[in-house]
Amino acid sequence: MVFDCCSNKNTEVWNSMIGGYVQNNCPLQGIDVFVQALESEEAVCDDVTFLSVISAVSQLQQIKLARQIHAFVLKSLAVTPTIVVNAIIVMYSRCSSVDTSFKVFEKMSERDAVSWNTIISSFVQNGLDEEALMLVCEMQKQRFIIDSVTVTALLSAASNMRDSYIGRQTHAYLIRHGIQFEGMESYLIDMYAKSGLITTSELLFEQNGPSDRDLASWNAMIAGYAQNGLGDKAILILREALVRKVMPNAVTLASILPSCSSMGSTTLARQLHGFSIRQLLDQNVYVGTALVDAYSKSGAISYAENVFIRTPEKNSVTYTTMIMSYGQHGMGKRALALYDSMLRCGIKPDAITFIAILSACSYSGLVEEGLHIFESMDKVHKIKPSTEHYCCVADMLGRVGRVVEAYEFVERLGEDGDAVEIWGSILGACKNHGYFELGKVVAEKLLNMELEKRIAGYHVLLSNIYAEEGEWENVDRVRNHMKEKGLQKEMACSWVEIAGSVNYFVARDEKHPLSGEIYYILDILTRDMMDVGYKPGYNSNLNRILESSD
DSSP 8-68: S--HHHHHHHHHHHHHTT-HHHHHHHHHHHHHHT-----HHHHHHHHHHHHHHT-HHHHHH
pTM: 0.73
Question: Does the pLDDT value for residue 17 go beyond 70?
Answer: yes
Question: Which residue would you say has higher pLDDT here, 156 or 13?
Answer: 156
Count CB-CB contacts under 10 A for residue 397. 25
Q: Is residue 381 part of a domain?
A: yes
pLDDT at 9: 63
Domain-terminating residue out of 342, 360, 385: 385
Q: Is residue 205 part of a domain?
A: no
Question: Does the pLDDT value for residue 11 go beyond 80?
Answer: no
Question: Does the pLDDT value for residue 5 go beyond 70?
Answer: no
Q: Is residue 501 part of a domain?
A: yes
Q: Is residue 523 part of a domain?
A: yes
pLDDT in tens, 231-280: 889 999 999 999 999 989 999 999 999 888 777 678 888 989 999 999 88
pLDDT at 456: 65
Q: Is residue 138 part of a domain?
A: no
pLDDT in tens, 117-147: 999 999 999 989 999 999 999 999 999 988 8
Question: Which residue would you say has higher pLDDT here, 208 or 498?
Answer: 208
Angle of helix 266-278 relative to helix 301-310, nearest 10 degrees, comes to 20
H-state helical runs in 162-265: 164-177, 184-194, 198-206, 215-227, 231-243, 250-263
Decide if 231 contacts 255 (C-beta within 8 A).
no
Domain-terminating residue out of 359, 385, 411: 385
Q: Which domain holds residue 497?
A: 493-545
Q: What's the average model confidence in pLDDT over 220-241?
A: 91
Instruction: Count how many domains the chain has.
Output: 2
Domain-terminating residue out of 334, 365, 385: 385
Q: Is residue 42 part of a domain?
A: no
Q: Is residue 257 part of a domain?
A: no
Q: Is residue 454 part of a domain?
A: no
Nearest to 385, CA basis, from 412, 407, 346? 412
Question: Does the pLDDT value for residue 544 go beyond 50?
Answer: no
